[in-house]
Structure 1
């Protein structure tokens, strides 16, 4: 994954084992408890308790955090997002730098929600480059919509985000 992708992953690190369990559930679906049970050597019923958040003292909490793939965590965090704080983004066109754009706070609704859902699906399918492109298009589409004077989406599909200069946060 590119520097852009690494920054997305960094913003999606789990706060606790419950975040990791949620990401595993989203990635593995109905097979999540079987996956956890087999990987940790615990009963499937105990794995189900972890997934349901019914474990008060979690001796396997760190193990569950370690099981969650970074792409699964990123997909889960993006799907739960209400807003994205993008700050200043570095953009490129055909691999050549085109400077920096101040994007700032992007609300996750409408087209942005669709872009995030598609990007998360691509992450869960293992297609990181498609996920990056979809997320970049969504963010720059929202940015151009906020700054367009005549309702044209001039940046969507032309520029690509290569990195977040001032950080990226999922809110």
Structure 2
């Protein structure tokens, strides 16, 4: 799975709270106004849709309207564990096999690395986000390895547990 597919999967498998957080992160204090305009609803209703009182029948609308990059970023920011699975790695552009990283508990250092990925996603810088996720994965596998290798592909994607 290429990095953009990983981002899409993170966004598609997000909980509605991540979509709500993504809308707030992207639009700040104007989030309810933006949602109201996009969904054709009143601002008061939009505020309810951005709260914990969101009607279950409206979750699909909110999730669809949320920016996928921001939604994926919110999932990474709230991760308690992350499963990188098996990754294909390269050295100097040459394939160097596969490393199985598997599930990792998010410690403060990994949380900082994932926050960097999230920040790059929110600014729309996909190449920088891909590099940062590669660094996070390889650092979690074996610190220092990120200076030598780069993740080229995530064999089964990346799974995040909140």
Give the TM-score of the pair, scaled to structure 1: 0.84
Partners of 1:14 and 1:20 within 8 A in 2:
no
Are 1:46 and 2:45 an aligned pair? yes
Structure 1: runs of 5+ lacking an equivalent: 146-152
C-alpha change, 1:85 and 1:30, in structure 2 (3 Å) is same
Shift of residue 131 of structure 1?
A: 0.8
Trace 1:64-75 onto structure 2 (pairs within 5 A): 64-75=62-73
Distance of 1:24 and 1:80 partners within structure 2? 15
Task: Give the superposed CA RMSD.
Answer: 1.9
Structure 2: runs of 5+ lacking an equivalent: none
1:123 is aligned to: 121
1:138 is aligned to: 136
**1:77 corresponds to which of 65, 75, 78:** 75
Distance of 2:85 and 2:157 partners within structure 1? 6
Distance of 1:5 and 1:23 partners within structure 2? 18
Trace 1:13-32 onto structure 2 (pairs within 5 A): 13-15=12-14, 17-32=16-31
User: What CA deviation, in whole Å up to 9, does each residue of 1:35-69 have, x standing for no partner?
Assistant: 101111111111111111223354x4322221112
C-alpha change, 1:101 and 1:46, in structure 2 (3 Å) is same
1:161 is aligned to: 151
Partners of 1:49 and 1:55 within 8 A in 2:
yes
Partners of 1:106 and 1:139 within 8 A in 2:
no
Aligned length: 161
* Between 19-28 and 155-164, the greater mean CA deviation after superposition: 19-28
Give the TM-score of the pair, scaled to structure 2: 0.89
